[in-house]
Chain A
Amino acid sequence: MAYLIFSISLLLIYMGLAQLLHVQFGMLGIPNFGVVGFWGFGMYGVAVFNVQFGWPFLFALVITCLLVAILAYGLGMLILRLEGQAILCATLAFSAIVTLLVITEKWLTFGVVGLGTIQYPVRIGAATEIIYFMLLLLIIGSFQLAINKLHQSRLGRLTIAIRDNEELAASLGKDTFKTKLILFTLTSCLMGMLGGLSAPLNQFLTPNMLVPGVTFAVWIALVLGGKENTFGAMLGVFITFGLFDILVETYLPVSPEYAVMVPNFKLFLYGAVLVAVLVYRPAGILNNRQAHTRWPNADLS
């Protein structure tokens, strides 16, 4: 039971990441391939402040979020004027640097030995995990509400315009760079917050949690569900993470000699589902519209 709660709590974290990536890529066209960098920085930041410095969890979380925001702002200043492919490479490199620093800066992170234990901020005996899960549910729910609101707002309309044709939006007097920078900073900071909230879930952190696989899982979810709406992204997470990681990996009865094959089989199925979706529903499972998914900035017509 405890493991199930842990799994679906993590599922919620991934859903949150997918929602935020939906804003970054689905609404603004920023191909952030460094999701794990922001998330991981948040997770390790909270762990270091909490375990090494002895700061209370909430304080550690707030300070970490601030740091991630500053980092995202700086990175955004550097890359958000660039073409899509360059942003992709830069964010991927950013996340690689975060992982590398976590491994090498042993005095802070204990490197590959691992860092722990991060306690839940509030402990109410056996109910702790459930209450924490509820908290996450509340956060993901409010993300959903906020993004819905954004979709209906003037700012949301501007983001769509920027995604479709940034140069044209600028020629209509829109400060596209500033808009992208503000929203990129905010959403990346929230990715860091989700990372911070993941720290007590995992309790004990090791650098191998910060693999690009996290980024890819969120991206696959976004492509599966469709980048045009958040429900799509959340459904995508449910299929990839929920179905495969939780159900298949944990609860499918397989004999021990085949158990080692399960993770590989999972990757294979990820791929197969992804290809099937791209072939039959290029705009995502939830999207009826014809292939509308375009690579940003690849429009040379």
Chain B
Amino acid sequence: MKIRVRNLNKSYHLHPVLALQEAEFGAYELEGLIGPNGAGKSTLMGLLTQRIPPTSGNIWFDIDGHEHNLRTMRVHEVARLGLVKTNQRIQGFESLSIRDSLRLAATAHSQETLRGVLDKNQIDDDIESEIDHYLSLFSFSNPNGYALSGGEKKLLDILRCLVLKPRMLLMDEPTAGLPDDITQQVMRLVVEKARAQQMRVLIVEHDLELIWSFCDYVHFLSDGEMLFQGTPENVKKNRVVAEKYMGV
């Protein structure tokens, strides 16, 4: 399982923000993507999920030896392939309760049809028990109500993605806006799923301790270019990374 990128470019108003000749993500269970503010990390993740249309370039998603060209796909098709992203900025459905929001994510699209409106039983027990499981792991102030604080909304955003059972999960600054203890809990869950081979994970984070302690491989992005890639030890030792990012 991996994402392969070739000559991927993104410019806004002729101003290039991302230029990747060649890159691969997902070869390891947990990978990190780091770089200074404005380096293009979120842009790259948006390009991978097709949420942002590239200026040029190609992206392939390799699933069990079968290559899918993501460039020809729409956002929902990419998600259905199992490539899913959590959001840096808070996103949510303000009229859906926490439970309904998770139900929405867990429900197969084949059930959300006009014919499905006539189904007697709109509650799916498998989905309910899975949602109960997630809601028992995390303490929302009112699990049967709405996500209130920014932290709860951010957590819900991540849980929605987990409920989708992605093949590959992209996490854009998961810890920003989350309280420390919840961050720990989320990371424990994500790492557990990655180690159990249930999904691959790519994390964008400014919290480098988190990157060093969980990731098997780290990509360093600066000014839209991939300047260095390697194991956490090698990245830590690298002079370019130190100069451009860690302010040494």
Contact = CB atoms under 8 A, between A and B. Distances in A.
Contacts of A158: 104, 112
A182 B115 CA distance: 12
A168 B119 contact: no
A123 interface: no
Interface in B60-80: 74-76, 79-80
Given A158-B104, A161-B96, A164-B93, A173 B117 contact: no
Contacts of B201: none
A167 B51 contact: yes
Contact of A164 (B96, B105, B111, B112): B96
B49 interface: yes
A165 interface: yes
Given A164-B94, A164-B95, A173 B80 contact: yes
Interface string B74-110: 1110011000110100011111100011011101010
Contacts of A150: 117
Contact of B92 (A156, A168, A171): A168
Interface in B192-245: none
Contacts of A176: 76
A100 interface: no
Interface in B149-190: 160, 164
Interface string A150-168: 1011111110110111011
B116 interface: yes
A170 B76 contact: yes
A48 to B, nearest CB: 30
A154 B111 contact: yes
Given A173-B76, A174-B112, A175-B109, A160 B122 contact: no
A173 B118 CA distance: 22
Contacts, number: 91
B14 interface: no
Given A164-B94, A165-B92, A173 B164 contact: yes
A171 B117 CA distance: 23
Given A153-B116, A157-B103, A171 B85 contact: yes
B139 interface: no
Nearest to A153: B117
Mostly, the A contact residues are helix
A104 interface: no
B114 interface: yes
A126 interface: no
A172 interface: yes
A149 interface: yes
> Chain B CB within 10 Å — which of A153, A158, A171, A179 has the most?
A171
A146 B118 CA distance: 9
B129 interface: no
B76 to A, nearest CB: 5
B168 to A, nearest CB: 14
B246 to A, nearest CB: 32
A120 to B, nearest CB: 31
Contacts of A153: 116-117, 119, 122
A157 B51 CA distance: 23
B79 A172 contact: yes
A172 B76 CA distance: 7
Contacts of A156: 117
Contact of B122 (A152, A161, A174, A182): A152
14 contacts: A150-B117, A152-B122, A153-B119, A154-B111, A157-B107, A158-B104, A160-B93, A168-B87, A169-B104, A171-B49, A171-B76, A172-B105, A173-B164, A292-B94
Given A172-B164, A174-B104, 15 more contacts: A150-B117, A153-B117, A157-B112, A158-B112, A164-B94, A164-B95, A165-B93, A171-B76, A171-B85, A172-B84, A172-B160, A173-B76, A173-B80, A174-B76, A176-B76
* Among all A-B residue pairs, the 4 with the closest Cβ atoms: A173-B79, A164-B93, A153-B117, A170-B75
Interface of B: 49, 51, 74-76, 79-80, 84-85, 87, 91-96, 100-101, 103-105, 107, 109, 111-114, 116-119, 122, 160, 164
